[in-house]
Amino acid sequence: MIQIPAFLNGEYMPVAECRVSPLDRGFLFGDAVYELIPVYNRKAFCMSQHLARLARSVEQVHIQNPYTPTQWAAIIEKLIQQSDDEDLAVYIQVTRGVAKRDHIFPENVNPTVFAMANPMARVAGEELQNGVELITVKDIRWQRCDIKVTGLLANILAKQEAIQSSAYEAILIRDGFALEGSASNLFVVRNGTVYTHPEDNLVLPGVTRDFILGLLNELEVEFREQAIPEEWLYSANELWVTSSAREILAATKIDKRVVGKGVPGELWKDVHALYQKSIA
């Protein structure tokens, strides 16, 4: 078995040796937040943006941030050093800690801090050539999707529905609007303009989303952050889904209907190429 280097409450050890109490509130309540940072050629990508989002996540759920950005960066660096792989996904989780089961916040309890560095397979081949398939599902999540909480059951059910339909990702629909994927942000290209849902309580403020908006600026492509009517999905010229782990993927089918010309679009090619350049 490959050894996944991990960090638990101040100590480094293989993930298989990590032990967390069943009374941990992350386990009992999903009282926890997380972050996922991609590493390319042993260098963390957009680390400060990920650490800023982590700081916001803990703050929003009233957990004291256990580390400064410098300390977090040192933990990430050490996990990278202990890994054999060049490309990694560093996962960080902070829970409210271990206490007798009670909904009320426990007093004088330290947060549980867990991190691990998993090998990350780069997107390649078929997914780039042919694009991916999407389905739409009803968004049954709570109303604070802007916080990166570990309670992802609704996301997991949506993703599994996609997999069962031989699709890659499920696009979440709420009140007639397409918000984001189960584990990705959504971009819609329509008559030369790129649309993505604004940063509000209904979507995760994706680090990749933000990075892509910067690339669109560079490419002088017009974009708008606005709510996307569900019907637009079926008349879009291009659909993209973005995430730290899977970068930017073009969708060529949605609900079994062909998107645009049925191949990854021209604009996607430009943005994808620039994204690859940024990574390099």
Q: Give the interface with ligand PDD as residue ranges (CB under 6 A).
A: 36, 155, 180, 183-185, 204, 206-209, 242-245
**C-beta of residue 42 within 8 angstroms of C-beta of residue 111:** no
CB of 268 to ligand PDD, least distance (A): 16
Which residues lie closer than 8 Å to 185 by C-beta, 6 or more apart? 196, 197, 203, 204, 206, 208, 209, 241, 242, 243
Sequence-ordered strand ranges (E) for the chain: 5-8, 11-14, 32-40, 43-44, 88-95, 112-119, 132-138, 169-174, 177-181, 185-190, 193-196, 223-225, 228-229, 238-243, 247-254, 257-258
Of the pair 136, 155, the CB lying nearest ligand PDD is at 155
CB of 35 to ligand PDD, least distance (A): 8
CB of 154 to ligand PDD, least distance (A): 10
Of the pair 94, 207, the CB lying nearest ligand PDD is at 207
Of the pair 38, 260, the CB lying nearest ligand PDD is at 38
In the numeric block, which tokens belong to residue 187? 């971009």
CB of 155 to ligand PDD, least distance (A): 6
Distance between CA atoms of 177 and 196, rounded to whole angstroms? 11
To the query of whether residue 138 is one of the catalytic residues in this protein, the response is no
Of the pair 128, 263, the CB lying nearest ligand PDD is at 128
Q: Is 11 left (phi over 0), alpha (psi -120 to 50) or beta?
A: beta
248: β partners = 242
- Closest among 3, 1, 26, 23 to 13, alpha carbons compared: 3
Distance between CA atoms of 186 and 197, rounded to whole angstroms? 8
Of the pair 146, 263, the CB lying nearest ligand PDD is at 146
CB of 207 to ligand PDD, least distance (A): 4
Q: Of 78, 100, 138, 148, which is the active-site residue?
A: 148
The set of catalytic residues is: 148
